[in-house]
Structure 1
């Protein structure tokens, strides 16, 4: 029994130390990227290329995510609120939920799954094929050349994708509540405006900005630390998506606590 207990605490202790070690290395990478952002030259073409990849090419999946999330949430919320004679308030509830939580979190997770995994795979492949070492040999800083354009593009694109998700979530809600449930169009927009403010939208954009930073930082970290060939690339890609999703949810709570209080 003692051996089992000892092994259990040994496992927990090792896991905690591994998490602390990983968090420290990610923080160092974030610090290095932050320093490199202000160093010349500014690679505008790489920045635009990454905006296209992270932002523009993510628009279809964000539209579908926002649209169906708004539709499903409206359908379920209307059914619950209508039991208390408050079905007309559903649009306000959906707008609050999309702006405060659903849009930023779902956008972060979707971008991590689509763009973050691809970034990790690309950088991981460059790592195992020694292309990153070749950049070092040519006196080109890999962080400045590879990570900085991705970080800037992620922080720029994520708030815009979040706004798109909110808009299409409301469109989906409008289709369900007005088109299917018979809520008046004027009542739909009145309740939506009544229960949401400009500060709510700003808080949502702040969240998405931070989530963009998190997703790119985690993706670059796992890409730069990929080992053991093709198997390592696959493992790093999987770990990157899982870590990004967990950190998005974790920082969602932290940011919500800070912004509300």
Structure 2
């Protein structure tokens, strides 16, 4: 019993310490954003490469999944509403299911599986090889040159890919429903905009931006704890991905209150 209480208390204390350190790290990141010189040639090129690797290279996968989702779930829900005579609610279904929930979360999940692991491995190896220390010795701010371009790319790509996912899913869903309902694309878009309100837009922006921020900052923060042993790298990757998973759940839950 005593051992159980000890381990439980240690778990909460360690978790509180990690959360405190992560919030301090986020505070530094946000303060650096205020002076982020993205137009600096060196920083701009790093940021551009990160946007390309994070978002552009995965567009094909996002579009394919959006097509499958549009044909499957969206089309099925639309057909169900048609059968019960409630096809006027198609706009509400598209807003709630696609725009508010599925598009932000699925794109964040894809980015976390592809980019968060890569960023965590990259920063871990740089920390292990003392490259970050060398950058600081030469007077280069590691936040502005290494961290912010990756975090900025994560937020931009998370938002952009979610927009693409929503557009493709809704378009494919329309083409599927157009064979069953005699409606025009303009009419369906009007149904969506009638169902869309400011809370839905804010929820979409909140989730996509915070998803991108979370899935980049957590691997970077975890990787900065790598020591001099090579075995620290896989441990940091595992911890980083678990923390990303918890972070995504946190953002998803808080999004319900918007």
C-alpha displacement at 1:7, in angstroms? 2.9
Contact in 2 for aligned 1:67/1:170 (Cα 8 Å): no
C-alpha displacement at 1:121, in angstroms? 0.7
Partner Cα separation in structure 2 for residue 203 and residue 237 of structure 1: 30
Alignment of 1:50-199 (within 5 A): 50-78=50-78, 80-81=80-81, 84-86=84-86, 89-90=89-90, 92-179=92-179, 182-186=180-184, 188-197=188-197
Q: Closer, same or farther in 2 for the Cα pair 1:156/1:75, shift >3 Å?
A: closer
Partner Cα separation in structure 2 for residue 220 and residue 28 of structure 1: 13
Contact in 2 for aligned 1:116/1:241 (Cα 8 Å): yes
1:18-39 CA distance string (max 9 Å, x none)? 2211111111111112222344
Unaligned runs of 5+ in 2: none
Contact in 2 for aligned 1:96/1:195 (Cα 8 Å): no
SS of 2:140 mapped into structure 1? coil
Deviating more after overlay: 215-224 vs 5-14: 5-14
Q: Closer, same or farther in 2 for the Cα pair 1:202/1:64, shift >3 Å?
A: farther
Q: Closer, same or farther in 2 for the Cα pair 1:128/1:96, shift >3 Å?
A: same
1:20 aligns with 2:9: no
Contact in 2 for aligned 1:155/1:209 (Cα 8 Å): yes
Contact in 2 for aligned 1:127/1:223 (Cα 8 Å): yes
Q: Closer, same or farther in 2 for the Cα pair 1:242/1:40, shift >3 Å?
A: closer
1:35 aligns with 2:31: yes
Of residues 4, 8, 33 in structure 1, which corresponds to 2:4?
8
Give me the CA root mean square deviation: 2.5
The TM-score normalised by the length of structure 1 is: 0.84
Contact in 2 for aligned 1:178/1:185 (Cα 8 Å): yes
The TM-score normalised by the length of structure 2 is: 0.85
Partner Cα separation in structure 2 for residue 148 and residue 113 of structure 1: 20
Q: Tell me the number of residue pairs that the alignment of Structure 1 and Structure 2 aligns.
A: 252
Partner Cα separation in structure 2 for residue 220 and residue 184 of structure 1: 51
Contact in 2 for aligned 1:128/1:228 (Cα 8 Å): yes
Contact in 2 for aligned 1:108/1:245 (Cα 8 Å): no
Contact in 2 for aligned 1:73/1:94 (Cα 8 Å): no
Deviating more after overlay: 43-52 vs 58-67: 58-67
C-alpha displacement at 1:88, in angstroms? 6.0
Unaligned runs of 5+ in 1: none
Q: Closer, same or farther in 2 for the Cα pair 1:249/1:172, shift >3 Å?
A: farther
Q: Closer, same or farther in 2 for the Cα pair 1:87/1:50, shift >3 Å?
A: same
